[in-house]
Amino acid sequence: MATEQGTADELARTLRDAILRLNRRVRQTRAVGELTFSQLSALTSLQLAGALTPRELADVERVQPPTMTKIVGKLEERGLVVRTPHPTDGRQVILAPTEQGREMYAQFEKVRNEWLAEQLAGLSDSERDVLLRAAQIMQQVARA
């Protein structure tokens, strides 16, 4: 429909701009030594799932397998994740957070969240509600 398409076009522009800028802004809040955005996201997914293969994790994170190899490599270097052989399938590998990974996760995640949470705390209830609903819609769109 012409109207809906027009609105959708406009909205797409605005939304792209908004997520580009907010992404940049949030990334800037990372202190040296902290986990990056992508590393933290991968670790989060592993925490939630308990354990995943690289392929599964790549799918969840919407990234190609070689990209995930790199990200997991960084996490492994820091002792936050372990690779163990798959019990029956020799090709596969099981990725799981270590005890240290679980511990560090909580604190890193908190620090990483701080700046944005502060900004959001300064908004009104209804603004936060809009953001929450929008976030859910965006996650759903990203899955498509």
Partner DNA sequence: CACGATTCTTAGCTTAGCTAATAAGCTTGG
Partner DNA sequence: CCAAGCTTATTAGCTAAGCTAAGAATCGTG
| Partner that binds at residue 15, options DNA, a second copy, none, CB closer than 5 to 8 Å by kind | a second copy
Position among 69, 84, 100, 136 found at the interface with a second copy (CB under 8 A): 136
Query: Where in 2-143 does DSSP place strands (E)?
Result: 81-85, 93-97
- How far apart CA 45 and CA 63 sit, in angstroms, is 13
Segment interacting with DNA, rule: CB under 7 A, options 35-43, 102-110, 113-121, 127-135? 35-43
Burial class (CB in 10 A: 0-12, 13-18, 19+), 51: middle
101 binds DNA per the rule CB under 7 A: no
Segment interacting with DNA, rule: CB under 7 A, options 36-44, 103-111, 123-131, 136-144? 36-44
> Taking CB under 8 A as the criterion, which residues in 12-51 touch a second copy?
12-26, 28, 37-38, 41, 44
Name the residue with tokens 């957070």: 97
| Partner that binds at residue 79, options a second copy, DNA, none, CB closer than 5 to 8 Å by kind | none
Degrees, nearest 5: CA angle 40-26-54: 25
Nearest to 41 by CA among 109, 98, 90: 109
56 binds a second copy per the rule CB under 8 A: no
**Total interface residues for DNA by CB under 7 A:** 31
